Amino acid sequence: MGFDRGSSSRGLRPPPPREDTPLIGEPQPLSSQGKTFANVFIAVVGAGVLGLPYAFKRTGWITSLLMLFAVAALTHYCMMLLVYTRRKLESVNGFTKIASFGDLGFVVCGSLGRLAVDTLVTLSQAGFCVGYLIFIGNTMADLKIWGWAAPKSFYIWSCFPFQLGLNSIATLTHLAPLSIFADVVDLGAMGVVLAKDVSIFLKQRPPVEAFGGLPVFFYGLGVAVYSFEGIGMVLPLESETKEKEKFGSVLALTMIFIALLYGGFGTLGYLAFGSETKDVITGNLGAGLVSTLVKLGLSVNLFFTLPLMMNPVYEIVERRFWGGRYCLWMRWALVLVVSLVALFVPNFADFLSLVGSGVCCALGFVLPALFHVLVFKEEMGWKAWYLDMGIAVIGIVLGVSGTWYALLEILSVKA
């Protein structure tokens, strides 16, 4: 079994993947603290940042700032719960090869634990890709790249045949450099938008709201949780860290840096455009060569990032239903489903809130707390038990409430 105590290889050919076979089995070179910082940053920061100014408009800039830092702290705490849980199982119980979140779920709760993690990872990754297509469709429609006002659906369907080809690639070796390109484009776009925000804010200071009501609080919370999603990578990243005793400190420093970056980006975007802030902040950049290049660069970036983000979905589905074998028609069917969902969701930030509330709250808060309680239940005090269970309950309440309000927003736009 993949999680036997001290198990060793008995043959030259690896056995076919099973329920208890780790998804990530190859050892990686150990990383310095600087590289760990960069890896965590890359794993967390993504296209969700582009919807933060709109969320700040909906929830108020002070509320949003408080929310961002609270979500950052809670995310860091829950990430470390996973690390502590794995360390306990590996050091005390002697389990080996707990390389991923799904592996940990299997060790703690058996097949049900892995099923819960796999389901949520599948939904979150596919949700990210839906958001990418929404962004591409809305951005290209706004640019009127062909000289006429083509609808969002035109551009989504235009991407479809090319995505079938990209998602047919069995290995990510040829696509790996695109992840570096994606991060460079993201950071460059954020820099351009921040500079534009500052220049506009100095010229015009539109009225802004500091606080919002309860419904928009849950809406903004979903966007914030989405923006900090990256818990699925914490165990592989900790495994690759050279000085594991300092991983928690490096992780905390990275989350503080990201929270400050998010807070500045969201605040400046909202302060610059006020009530005119759009669901994707690049929509406020207006015409011009630099604006067009930023929008095109982000669209191309997300176009090539989509197959990378879908790869964990393929690994899970192929593992569960095809014994780990490559299945072309299943990949094409999933690309079709993602494209169809993107067609029916008009607003980028609304969908971020839905995924953040409905999926990321459970994946990032509920499961880490429950796994930690189950592993440490015989030695933890009542304060630690109530803290973990409180986080799980809060995650459930926030997830249900945020999902409800996000759906109301999406359906009201459609209506």
Looking at every residue in the chain, the average pLDDT score rounds to 81
pLDDT at 211 over 70: yes
- Give the residue among 155, 193, 122 at the shortest CA–CA distance from 355: 122
Q: Within 10 A of 236 (CB to CB), how many other CB atoms are there?
A: 16
Q: Is the pLDDT of residue 47 over 50?
A: yes
Summarize the confidence of residues 242-252 as an average pLDDT. 87
Amino acid at 209: E
- Structure tokens given for 319: 């593992």
Contact partners, residue 182, CB within 8 Å, separation at least 6: 301, 302, 304, 305, 308
Q: What's the pLDDT band for 231 if we cut at 50, 70, 90?
A: confident
Interval 262-310: pLDDT, tens = 999 999 999 988 888 888 888 887 777 777 888 888 888 788 888 878 8
Question: What percent of the chain shows pLDDT beyond 70?
Answer: 86
Range of lowest pLDDT (179-183, 205-209, 225-229, 329-333): 179-183
Euclidean distance between CA atoms 79 and 299, whole angstroms? 30
Most distant CA atoms of the chain, gap in Å: 71
pLDDT digits (tens, 9 = 90+) for 62-80: 999 999 999 999 999 999 9
Element (H, E) at 389: helix 382-414
Q: Which residue has the higher pLDDT, 21 or 262?
A: 262
pTM above 0.85, yes or no: no
HEC profile for 151-198?
Answer: CHHHHHHHHHHHHHHHCCCCCCCCCHHHHHHHHHHHHHHHHHHHHHHH
State residue 31 phi and psi, 5-degree precision. Answer: -105, 145
Alpha helices in 204-321 (DSSP H): 214-227, 234-240, 247-273, 289-321
Residue 4 pLDDT class (50, 70, 90 cuts): very low
Report the SS3 class of residue 241. strand
Q: How many C-beta atoms surround the C-beta of residue 259 within 10 A? A: 22
* Positive or negative: CA dihedral 362, 28, 186, 72: positive
Return the DSSP state at 359.
I
Identify the band that residue 8 occupies on the pLDDT scale cut at 50, 70 and 90.
very low
Domain ranges in the chain are: 33-414
Cα–Cα nearest to 93, from 3, 2, 21: 3
Distance between start and end Cα atoms, the chain: 52
* Beta-carbon count within 10 A of 146 CB: 10
Of residues 65 and 42, which shows the higher confidence score?
Answer: 65
pLDDT reported for residue 89: 87
The per-residue pLDDT for range 373-385, each reduced to its tens digit, is 999 988 888 888 9
Contact 387, 338 (CB under 8 A): no
Q: Residue 172: which pLDDT band, with cuts at 50, 70 and 90? A: low
Whether residue 121 contacts residue 265, with contact meaning beta carbons closer than 8 Å, is answered with: no
Query: In the predicted model, is pLDDT for residue 86 greater than 70?
Result: yes
pLDDT at position 333? 94
CA–CA distance, 27 with 6 (Å, rounded to integer): 16
Identify the pLDDT of residue 94.
63
The CATH architecture annotation of domain 33-414 reads Up-down Bundle (1.20)
Q: Give burial (CB, 10 Å; 0-12/13-18/19+) of 320.
A: middle
